[in-house]
Amino acid sequence: MNKETLQTNKIVRPPVVVVMGHVDHGKSTLLDYIRKSNVVASEAGGITQSISAYEVSHKDETGKDRLITFLDTPGHEAFSKMRARGAFASDIAILVVSAEDSVKAQTLEAYNTIIESKTPYIVAINKIDKPNANIEKTKMDLVEKGIYLEGMGGDIPFVPISAKIGTGVNELLDMILLVADMGAFTGDPKLNASGIVIEANREPKRGVSATVVIKNGTLKSGMFVVAGQALVTTRIMENFLGKPIKEATFSSPIRLVGFESMPEVGSVFESFASKKEAENYISIIKEESLNNRNSKVDTEQTGKIIPIIVKTDVVGSIEALEKEIGKLNNSEIYYKIINSGVGAISESDLKMASANKETIIVGFNTKIDNSARDLNESLKVTVETFDIIYKLTDWLKVVIEERRPRVETVEVTGSLKILKTFGATKDKQVVGGKVITGRIVNGGIVRIMRRDFEIGKGKIVELQHNKIKAKEVLEENECGVQVETKVDIAPGDVLEAFIITIK
């Protein structure tokens, strides 16, 4: 297919939008209002589960209905994770700022994430219905932090809103479509679908499932999807309402059920017409992954990983904790921070952690919110919170010691050279010999060595020194030994007494 043909296949696609900002500034309220107001009422009422991505419809200035895909909090995680991979879950970001509280540390954290990803964004100044709302002060605070709004010396669009009662929300949706038109987001429906994994979890009855957003191409029933190294067929494919579908195209959030393994949140997925093509793609991914690991083995940790999620009260605490956690790492086992943030430990933190049973969550000067606490009754993620940093690190020291890989070592405590053999029964032999190193103990386990090769094992069931029963015989002394073994012992063999220690 030549470039001209490729170009003619491209059509405008709906924008994918992520909402970011401080935890108390109204992100969830805004998403809830948009979902309830802009999803068909009969369908919206059918949404009983917590969904991480959904489509809404909004009329543009010409009166045409257009779709917008919104990503909920799990999308925020995927959005952050994609920075390092050069692909992004969203096309447009909304930075929510409270007109009451103005710019907070978490606002700036979200802003920095948006800027690093080079994603177009809109500022939504929320809670304008509150008595203490001060839109002008909030705008000035944003400018002071380098967020230059339209009319304030910059070109960043902003919309004053009340997510609670809906004031300005239609104008915000208008602005999203305007920014989308300026970005000219397009896709080719004739290609096999590709996109981003937004959320993944294991369901008791259905196995591993994932919510994905298609960024290009079309996905049809009977195709095969690969996310990282996880494979699934599109036999069970659902839209964001949980309804079975046979086909989906770009910007659509869909649920795929039946992955062979857990796909990583934030990973890119590709789709294929046949299982053989999908498996060939996985083999290429595995080879690349192995080559990358081999090339980095000298510069990166190679021991066991404990994934850790860190939540704190302020951004500065994150940096301090990352430094302290780094001091605990060693060549055998180490902590890898997979996510960090400011605010309470949330449901999305637990969902991310539940993908790997080794993951732990620590909070410093923060708490676990009630909905997350309820969710953890079933997920059973290890979560601890602290208000003193040394208590947190002391606890992490205990965890790293408990989970450290144990190495089984064999320690030789003595050896006996066989000089003579005497009578033998079915499983027991009587031999005479000399202790040449260490000591031989009655009841001890021995390896039977012949010319430096182990030919079997046995147990000393009786030990005599000078024809008197003994508990042990030391080096340079001769003794008689009854050995329980199925191996025929011969003169010249050596019995090595040993103990197994786990370190």
pTM for the whole structure: 0.58
Give the pLDDT band (50/70/90) at residue 178. very high
The structural domains of the chain, ordered by start, are 3-185 (3.40.50.300), 194-296 (2.40.30.10), 304-402 (3.40.50.10050), 408-502 (2.40.30.10)
Asked if 114 and 20 touch (Cβ cutoff 8 Å), the reply is yes
Q: For the segment 260-281, what is each residue's pLDDT rounded down to a tens digit?
A: 888 877 788 999 999 999 999 9
Task: Report d(CA 353, CA 200) in Å as an integer.
Answer: 11
Percent of the chain's residues with pLDDT above 90: 46
Asked if 159 and 168 touch (Cβ cutoff 8 Å), the reply is yes
How many CB atoms lie under 10 A from the CB of residue 89?
A: 30
The answer for residues whose C-beta is within 8 angstroms of residue 383's C-beta and 6 or more apart is 345, 350, 360, 361, 362, 363, 368, 376
Q: For the segment 53-96, what is each residue's pLDDT rounded down to a tens digit?
A: 888 889 888 888 899 998 865 444 445 554 434 346 789 999 99
Q: For the segment 29-44, what is each residue's pLDDT rounded down to a tens digit?
A: 888 888 887 664 444 4
Asked if 355 and 315 touch (Cβ cutoff 8 Å), the reply is no
Asked if 256 and 225 touch (Cβ cutoff 8 Å), the reply is yes
Mean pLDDT, rounded, for 370-381: 91
Q: For the segment 119-164, what is each residue's pLDDT rounded down to a tens digit?
A: 899 999 999 999 999 999 999 999 988 889 998 888 999 999 998 8
Q: Is the pLDDT confidence value at 168 over 70?
A: yes
Q: State residue 291's pLDDT score.
A: 65
Radius of gyration of the chain (CA): 32
